[in-house]
Amino acid sequence: MAKKVKYKVDNKMKLFGQANLDTGEIKINKKKNKAAGKGELLDTIVHEKLHIKHPKMSEKNIRKKTPIVLKKLSKKSKQQLFNKLNSPMPKIKKRVTKKHLSKKNPSKDRIGRKGTPAQNSKVAKVLDEFNAGTLRSSAGELVTTEDQAIAIGLSEAGLSNK
C-alpha cells in the first residue's frame, strides 16, 4: 500500500529537498529552488517523491528517472503538485532551438547568423545549454532569459559589439 505523502516547506535547509522514508514526509526549500530557476521546484518535488515511492532505488537512477516522469506528467498533475506547496505554477517561456532557426533565409533568424560557421556553432551550443537549463552567467547565476542567453552566445563567439 502506498504511503500518504506530507509536504513541508523548510527554507533553512541547505538541500533543495529531503525525503523521510519512515514518515513519508517531503521537505522542500522553496527559496533555494526559486533561486535555481523555473522548473527546479517541480523537479525537486518529483525527485523526492520518487525516493519515497522507490526507497531501494539508487540516487543515480532516481536522477535519471526524474526527467522521464516530468515529461509524462500532465499540466493538471504538475499544478496539483505545486498546489500542495501552495505555490503558483511558474510560466515557462518558449525557448529558442536550432529548429527555430531558418536555414534558407538568415534574415529570419532570431540571432541573425552573420558570423562564420564556427561562430554560429558556438552560439547554437550556448542556446542548447540554455535550453537544457545549465547555462550560467559570468557571475555564476543561472541564465533565465532567452535574450541574456543570446547575448552570452554572441559574446563568446566574438560577434558582439563589445
Number of domains in the chain: 2
Shared-domain flag, residues 77 and 107: no
Q: Does residue 101 register a pLDDT over 80?
A: no
Among residues 40, 61, 84, which one ends one of the domains? 84
Kindly list the strands in the beta sheet with 17-20, ordered across the sheet, starting from the edge strand earlier in the chain: 6-9, 25-28, 17-20
- 37, 62, 84 - which closes a domain: 84
Residue range of the domain that includes 69: 6-84
> What is the mean predicted confidence (pLDDT) over 1-28?
81
Residues shown for the chain: 162
pLDDT in tens, 104-147: 544 444 545 567 888 888 888 888 888 888 888 888 889 888 88
Q: List the single range of 57-66, 82-91, 124-133 with lowest mean pLDDT.
A: 82-91
Q: Is position 63 within any domain? A: yes
Same domain, 44 and 114: no
Instruction: Determine the pLDDT at residue 52.
Output: 86
**149, 130 contact by CB (below 8 A):** yes
Are 63 and 114 within one domain? Answer: no
**pLDDT computed for residue 107 by the predictor:** 42
The answer to whether the pTM exceeds 0.85 is no
78 in the same domain as 13: yes
Q: Can you list the alpha helix ranges (DSSP code H) found in 54-145?
A: 59-72, 75-84, 117-132
pLDDT band at 5 (very low <50, low <70, confident <90, very high): confident
> What is the pLDDT, as a whole number, of residue 95?
55
104 and 146 share one domain: yes
Residues 122 and 75 in one domain: no
pLDDT more than 70, % of the chain: 78
The partner residues of 27 in beta bridges, in order of sequence, read 8, 18
Torsion of CA 96, 100, 101, 106, to 10 degrees: -110
pLDDT tens sequence across 20-40:
888 888 888 888 877 777 678
End-of-domain residue from the set 84, 106, 124: 84
Residue 139 burial (10 A CB sphere; 0-12, 13-18, 19+): exposed
Q: 92 lies in a domain?
A: no
